[in-house]
Structure 1
Amino acid sequence: MATGETGFGDVMFDLISVQYHSLKAGHDYGQYVRDAENGGYSDVADFFKQVMEEDSRRAAKCHEFLEKLTHQEDTGKS
């Protein structure tokens, strides 16, 4: 695995980045849901909830891959 300027492998860095942004966005979407609900837009709130769930699944998948890659690096397996 190639190591980028950060000292982490490029793929590892990319997964961490996607995970971070998915989690950050999910946090922000919580406010969007509240705004829509407070405005009486339940259909928009439902949309934001759906987007938040998609980002949550995305972050969880990144976590799975990161665990796998970390284990492979620890054991020297590819």
Structure 2
Amino acid sequence: MVSSETGQVTGTQDKDYNIIWFVEACLSNALRMESYIADADRAGDRELADFFRRAQGESRKGAEQGKRLLSQRLGAAN
């Protein structure tokens, strides 16, 4: 589904909203991975726990990159 909303309704341009959404998704995923890590640890599956820890790290990294990019772009708009 393609929307033609470009900020008139939300007050936030799509490209900026997309970065905000991306950061939220990364942070949400990092939180979700914490549960998955705990499940794997309880099951004694170190390989799976380590896999989820790496995924969590990548989610954190994506969130940090997105926050920096958003900050730069919003700072440039002022």
* TM-score, scaled relative to structure 1: 0.88
2:12 corresponds in structure 1 to 8
**Match of 1:40, SS?**
coil
Measured after TM superposition, the shift of residue 4 of structure 1 is: 5.0
Whole-angstrom CA distance in 2 between matches of 1:43 and 1:69: 39
Matched to 2:18, the amino acid is D
1:13-28 alignment runs, 5 A limit: 13-28=17-32
CA contact (8 A) 1:26 1:55 kept: yes
1:61 corresponds in structure 2 to 65
1:44 corresponds in structure 2 to 48
1:32 aligns with 2:19: no
Matched to 1:65, the amino acid is L
Query: 5+ unaligned residues in a row in structure 2: which ranges?
Result: 1-5
Whole-angstrom CA distance in 1 between matches of 2:24 and 2:63: 7
* TM-score, scaled relative to structure 2: 0.88
The CA RMSD measured in Å over matched residues stands at: 1.1
Per-residue CA deviation, residues 21-77 of structure 1 (Å, 9 max, x unaligned), is: 110110010010010011000000000000000000000000011110111111xxx
Whole-angstrom CA distance in 2 between matches of 1:42 and 1:7: 46
